A = this chain, B = another copy of it.
């Protein structure tokens, strides 16, 4: 078992290995439901840019059951509540590139959830320009991260940014898990 297969604090995920396409993203996951999970991004386009996916590795929305579709987008709104609070978001871009011809880079349904504030650098058409371009190529980023882990520090060069380290993502995932927990607690009280 490689280090990548051993989640550090996955008590809330019951030790389950979670895949995003062919990638093991368990340590990036900060929320899980019966049918869906939410993960932090290797290269967020803006602070708090996360992905929500069905646990079922399926390429298209139309491949999902009704329960899976409903749960996916209820998870989006659920996660929005915490993102809104911790990133002081005024709005969100919520987008699925549903198939390769729509710019999908990993053949596993993923819904981008991007917190927005007035005057942020994503204004105009920037967020979606990034989403369609190399900046939003989550498949390539995951690939780079996997290579990085294999090559111990030999980073694949990226024109713009290097992918975040595993530790950095785990830290953010852990933080968001805790923040989600606070909101859960508040709902119950």
Contact = CB atoms under 8 A, between A and B. Distances in A.
> Chain A contact residues (Cβ within 8 angstroms of B): what range?
35 or more
A96 B84 CA distance: 16
A151 to B, nearest CB: 31
A10 interface: no
Copies in the complex: 2
A90 B124 CA distance: 28
A114 to B, nearest CB: 8
A100 B118 CA distance: 8
A16 to B, nearest CB: 24
Given A70-B70, A129-B125, A61 B80 contact: yes
> Which 10 interchain pairs have the tightest Cβ spacing?
A91-B99, A128-B128, A70-B70, A125-B132, A91-B101, A91-B102, A94-B96, A92-B98, A95-B95, A73-B73
